[in-house]
Amino acid sequence: MSSTDPKTLLPPSLAARVSALTIKNGRAIAVVDAAGLGAKDRGDIERAISDTLGQREDVSETRVVLTAERKQRRLIAVGSGKGGVGKSTLTANLAVALAKLGHKVGLVDADVYGPSQPVIFGNQGQKPVARDEKLVPVDSDIGIPVLSMGHLVEPGRALAWRGPMAGNALSQLIDAHWDDVDTLLVDLPPGTGDVQLTMLQRFKPMGAVLVSTPQDLALIDAARAGQLFDQAGVPIIGLVENMAGYACPHCGEMSDPFGKGGVETAAQRLDLPFLGRIPLDLAIREGSDKGTLPAAGDDLLAQPFHDIAAKIHSWIGAQS
């Protein structure tokens, strides 16, 4: 095979992008560095090279190989102002619902202080292996690869790590072999500490979802978490109200143990989109405890998760 200097055959603007060019038996192969180019520019370059080389007598077929063509992996962070509001439950169900919408989803459980995703996905006790000094995510029956601190440390062992150490551990979870995953959901630790800020700055998620219960205190904390995302320059996709409205399993009567509509009102006040509300339902808790996720189904329980995922899906679409 004979290598050719691209500059001798292509105009300078195209040649600058070509890292290797060979012509043999009428077949030209051009390797193009497509890093940082959008789909349209990549298409334009591919066509221009094919057209230019195709005019040569010694070329009957041109192949253009675009490198760095890897899909850009987007990170979506799920945060809350305080613990226990259902952030992990929401993240796991959104992962399943977004996968149903065609995304290749992976999940990082960055909640170093209370990792719960291994239980939710039923893959606790499995240890991720390392390849080339990077972790390989742990598979789950439902098809979502997951990496959690809970996979790395003994269950129940409290992690009294300080900021930088926790930050480095989290980097390993995110900078892992996610392969064809295009959408990585990150279940952040609750609150607005250094770990969260470091994370947001280091990995710059495409957007963030905030979850809160309708309780006043949770709402105040959620607003504070919103400021943290603002500070880090991460757009907030919207707010979710969890544990809204309780249907009595005996008589079906609805009650609102944590109040009603508080998150939607807060979203209006903060000028943020409201993505939807998830009812307080025993089946959601039971499902999480035994590794069956409501969003995997298509019944009433699954519906709110699918509706919220659809809004996130549209938001993602509007960014590209």
Ligand X SMILES: Nc1ncnc2c1ncn2[C@@H]1O[C@H](COP(=O)(O)OP(=O)(O)OP(=O)(O)O)[C@@H](O)[C@H]1O
List contacts with ligand X (CB under 6 A). Answer: 80, 83-89, 111, 114, 116, 190, 242-243, 278, 280-281, 284-285, 288
Helices of type H across 55-116 = 87-100
Q: Look up tokens 């551990």; give the residue.
A: 169
Task: State yes or no: 82 annotated in a binding site.
Answer: yes
Task: State yes or no: 71 annotated in a binding site.
Answer: no
Nearest distance from C-beta of residue 196 to ligand X, angstroms? 12
Task: State yes or no: 260 annotated in a binding site.
Answer: no
In three-state secondary structure terms, 168 is: helix
Task: State yes or no: 85 annotated in a binding site.
Answer: yes
Nearest distance from C-beta of residue 222 to ligand X, angstroms? 11
DSSP character string of 121-147: TT-TTPPPPEETTEEPPBP-TTS--EE
Beta carbon nearer to ligand X, 62 or 212? 212
Nearest distance from C-beta of residue 96 to ligand X, angstroms? 14
| Residue 102 burial by Cβ neighbours in a 10 Å radius (0-12, 13-18, 19+) | exposed
Q: Are 62 and 32 in contact (CB under 8 A)?
A: no
Beta carbon nearer to ligand X, 83 or 235? 83
Strands (E), 134-273: 134-135, 146-148, 183-187, 207-212, 236-247, 254-255
Task: State yes or no: 40 annotated in a binding site.
Answer: no
Beta carbon nearer to ligand X, 46 or 281? 281
Q: Report the C-alpha gap between 11 and 14 in whole angstroms.
A: 6
**Amino acid in the structure at residue 120:** I
Q: Are 312 and 237 in contact (CB under 8 A)?
A: yes
Nearest distance from C-beta of residue 92 to ligand X, angstroms? 8
Beta carbon nearer to ligand X, 150 or 207? 150
Task: State yes or no: 79 annotated in a binding site.
Answer: no
Q: Report the C-alpha gap between 250 and 95 in whole angstroms.
A: 31
Task: State yes or no: 83 annotated in a binding site.
Answer: yes
Nearest distance from C-beta of residue 54 to ligand X, angstroms? 57
Beta carbon nearer to ligand X, 196 or 198? 196
Annotated binding site for ATP: 81-88
